[in-house]
Amino acid sequence: MVVLFSSCSAILPTGSKPEDLAKGLADKIMELIQSGPTDDVFFELIYVPSEDRSNLEVQYQVVSLFRLSGLMFVNPPTPTSISVAGVSKIETKLIPWIIDEKPSFVKDVYSVTYVCTRNASTTVVNFPMITVENENKGYFFTVYVRETGGGTQVAWYPSPLIVGP
């Protein structure tokens, strides 16, 4: 019987569920709120391909995107906890995030609903979450260099509807 169960486990899917990945992002935001930024915090929340990390424009856009996304979590006042209320895979456009032109390294795109609890109130925040090929981790966005008709451009994905590179 043990042999039967162990042979079945080889066909079960491995890796974290999207809900677990979204919770990991919430935990990182709370860690950032409580401890302050660390050197690699941007790259734990925003995916940047290794070949693009030294590009100064990419670094600038990562900081800009981080500030935009961080404001959604800390305005109104700083939360005392952040929990995941729901995660759903996005197959079609979802406003306000533009999901067209998905980079080849992005596996899936999700919509995550976070509940930010504060001393006097609760706020609901919807955010995109991407997964990347060959990684078992979620990110809010990616900033990368893409080819554009003979040139290159720094891009965000998913792209906010109101702000972009």
Quick: pLDDT tens for 137-153.
999 999 999 988 888 89
Using a cut of 0.95, tell me whether the model's pTM lies above it. Answer: no
Assigned token pair, 51: 């070949």
Cα 46 from Cα 139, distance rounded (Å): 5
- Residue 41 or 48, more confident: 48
pLDDT at 121 over 70: yes
DSSP β-bridge partners for residue 8:
none
- The model's confidence at residue 92, banded by pLDDT at 50, 70 and 90, is low
Cα 14 from Cα 93, distance rounded (Å): 28
pLDDT at 20 over 90: yes
- The model's confidence at residue 49, banded by pLDDT at 50, 70 and 90, is very high
Annotated domain spans of the chain = 16-160
CA distances, 82 to each of 7, 30, 99, 104, 123 (Å) = 39, 7, 25, 31, 10
The pLDDT assigned to 109 comes to 92
Cα 84 from Cα 53, distance rounded (Å): 29
% pLDDT > 70, the chain: 76
